[in-house]
Structure 1
Amino acid sequence: MTPRHHLDEATLVSYAAGALTDGMRAVAATHLEACGHCRAQLAGAERIGGVLLSQRQPTDEPGRLAQLREAMLARLDATPQARPASTLGGDDDHAASRVAGTDLLPRALHPYFGTSWRALRWRWTAPGVHMIKSSRPSGDNLIMLKIAPGKSMPVHSHGGSELTQILKGAYDDAIGHFGPGDMADLDSDIEHQPVTSPGVPCICVAALDAPLRFPGWFARKLQPLVGL
């Protein structure tokens, strides 16, 4: 599994700074478990952040934290690619997690959904769509979705940010093809309509910081029932 879609640099900086919500952090960490490229980028962001903070301590001066964030992003852009780092565990740890068993959920999801695929209790949400909401209050914006093969989801945009990590199966939208290990790091400028690939259900974990926006009246009517 080699991811082709990755975390945005701004998301990695927010992750390194501890600025993501619990749900967003869990999805980002799930991607980092599978993606050496993003682990290397994260290590670079953490190194740059440490240097910046040692050079200039944050104050209450308006805009200072935003300036530090922009400086970190600029320096991250200029940093050469590094070897995947051990921020979330060494390479041996990642290899072990991949072969530990097909029933084992990604480690970052254990506090929110348990450890076992077989133990998941899916709730019917719509024809061909099942969902599980996080069992922890701190992950109240964190969900898992299982969408039947060949299913077209409603066209929608986002009231804020959305992180979606593909765990099994795949889907296509205007952005591209998303398969196992890929991350959809989306903001309010994106409108799309995911269509799941044939063969097996598409299972993903997602976190939202604002409700979805549906242009269609029928989807808007169903939104309170779905809770997205």
Structure 2
Amino acid sequence: MNPHHHLDASTVVSYAAGALAVEVATVAATHLETCAHCRARVAEAERVGGQLIEHQQPAGIVPDRFADLRAEMLQRLDDAPPAIAAPEPRSAPYEDDDRLPTPLHPYFGSSYRALKWRWMAPGVHCIRAPNTKTGTLLLLKIGPGRSMPVHGHGGTELTQILRGAYHDALGQFAPGDVADLDSDVEHQPVTVPGAACICVSALDAPLRFPGWLARKLQPLFKL
């Protein structure tokens, strides 16, 4: 598996620092299981972050200085040469047709066949992870050739494709790809023909729907 869409640099830094909401971190970890490129970037962020902390003595840093350090880390990641001899992507989470990726097991179990999907809309089913504290974590199964409502984001949306594919203005997203979106993005995913698209999504704020019908239904779907 060779993903074409990766984690944003700011997500990589926040993941390395342990600063992501648990729901977002779970989706990021799902992507990292199969993406050697992003695993190498996380390792580099951890290395750079360790060096910055050693030189800056963080116990006495004021909050504004933390922002400066984060910006410096992002810049150093941009300037760093590509990692040498990055490990090959691990395809194991997708080799067994019935096995969910390991980071999802605490929330959804290990088996696709055991999933208990709930109807959400025509051609759309979901499973919402219980007892989440800082956001929403859910599995989505969207039938082939379906258009989702146009929507924006009140905060972060991180979506990892597990099966099937969809396309939008940002390109086509297939198994292994991650869509790392923020409040500046408005899009309309359309699943490709053939097979249902199954993905896992984390949201740290409600979606924004420009269409009146989707806005009316939003409280029902709790998205």
- Mark the CA change 1:60 to 1:221 in structure 2 (over 3 Å): closer, same or farther: same
The 1-side partners of 2:190 and 2:170 are apart by 12
Kindly state the Cα deviation for residue 136 of structure 1 after the two structures are TM-superposed.
Answer: 3.8
Residue 66, structure 1, aligned to residue 67, structure 2 = yes
Q: Classify the secondary structure of the residue corresponding to 2:179.
A: strand
Aligned to 1:6: 6
Aligned to 1:185: 180
Choose from 125, 131, 134 the match for 2:129.
134
Give deviations 1:45-97, integer Å, cap 9, x for gaps. 01000100111122352401101101111111111111336xxxxx69x3554
The 2-side partners of 1:224 and 1:32 are apart by 32
Aligned to 2:149: 154
Kindly state the Cα deviation for residue 104 of structure 1 after the two structures are TM-superposed.
Answer: 0.9
The 2-side partners of 1:96 and 1:77 are apart by 30
TM-score scaled by structure 2?
A: 0.95
Judge conservation of contact 1:144–1:205 (CA < 8 Å) in 2.
yes
Choose from 115, 136, 150 the match for 1:120.
115
Aligned to 1:216: 211
The 1-side partners of 2:36 and 2:134 are apart by 25
Judge conservation of contact 2:134–2:204 (CA < 8 Å) in 1.
no
Supply the AA of the counterpart residue of 2:139.
M
Gaps of 5+ in 1: 86-90
TM-score scaled by structure 1?
A: 0.93
Judge conservation of contact 1:112–1:139 (CA < 8 Å) in 2.
no
Judge conservation of contact 1:113–1:135 (CA < 8 Å) in 2.
no
The 1-side partners of 2:63 and 2:135 are apart by 31
Kindly state the Cα deviation for residue 207 of structure 1 after the two structures are TM-superposed.
Answer: 0.3
Percent of aligned positions that are identical: 62
Supply the AA of the counterpart residue of 1:38.
C
Supply the AA of the counterpart residue of 2:28.
A
Q: Classify the secondary structure of the residue corresponding to 1:117.
A: coil
Aligned length: 221
Q: Classify the secondary structure of the residue corresponding to 1:63.
A: helix
Judge conservation of contact 1:112–1:136 (CA < 8 Å) in 2.
no
Q: Classify the secondary structure of the residue corresponding to 1:215.
A: coil
Judge conservation of contact 1:133–1:140 (CA < 8 Å) in 2.
no
Supply the AA of the counterpart residue of 1:201.
A
- Mark the CA change 1:130 to 1:156 in structure 2 (over 3 Å): closer, same or farther: same
- Mark the CA change 1:193 to 1:72 in structure 2 (over 3 Å): closer, same or farther: same
The 2-side partners of 1:139 and 1:60 are apart by 26
